[in-house]
């Protein structure tokens, strides 16, 4: 498997990003679809609205968020395997909108895909 990286959507896209996948349920504010250079927007891989609102990007809740989010992702196994297959051929960049670069769904999603 090639490397899977994560990157904020507010950082400029680069050629080294590879296959860019937005993994938020909501399109990030202030970003045009052209400027984001997203190959796929996989809304269904983002945390549910309920989980996202409960977590509210509180680092103290990240451990519980991670467990609950992994449970949600169990219903997306075919999509996760598909992304892992893409990562066998080329680098994948999971793109997200959160400000916190350590406590967000892309961090968890990367870990889950790498174990797939």
Asked whether the beta carbons of 12 and 32 are under 8 A apart, the reply is: no
Domain encompassing residue 13: 4-114
**Distance in angstroms between the alpha carbons of the first and the last residue of the chain:** 11
| Distance between CA atoms of residues 112 and 114, nearest Å | 5
pLDDT at 99: 94
Mean pLDDT of 27-48: 94
What is the number of structural domains in the chain?
1
> Using one digit for the tens of pLDDT, what is the confidence trace for 50-101?
999 999 999 999 999 999 999 999 999 999 999 999 999 999 999 999 999 9
Share the mean pLDDT of the chain. 95
Ramachandran category for residue 63: left, alpha or beta (phi over 0 → left; psi -120 to 50 → alpha):
alpha
pLDDT at 1: 63
């Amino acid at each position: 498997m090639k490397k899977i990286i994560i990157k904020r959507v507010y950082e400029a896209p680069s050629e080294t990003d590879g296959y860019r996948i937005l993994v938020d349920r909501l399109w990030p504010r202030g970003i045009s679809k052209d400027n984001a250079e997203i190959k796929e927007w996989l809304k269904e891989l983002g945390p549910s609205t309920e989980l996202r609102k409960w977590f509210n990007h509180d680092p103290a809740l990240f451990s519980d968020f991670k467990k609950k989010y992994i449970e949600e992702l169990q219903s997306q196994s075919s999509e996760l395997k598909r992304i892992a297959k893409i990562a066998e051929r080329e680098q994948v960049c999971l793109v997200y909108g959160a400000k916190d670069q350590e406590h967000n769904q892309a961090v968890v999603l990367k870990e889950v895909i790498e174990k797939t």
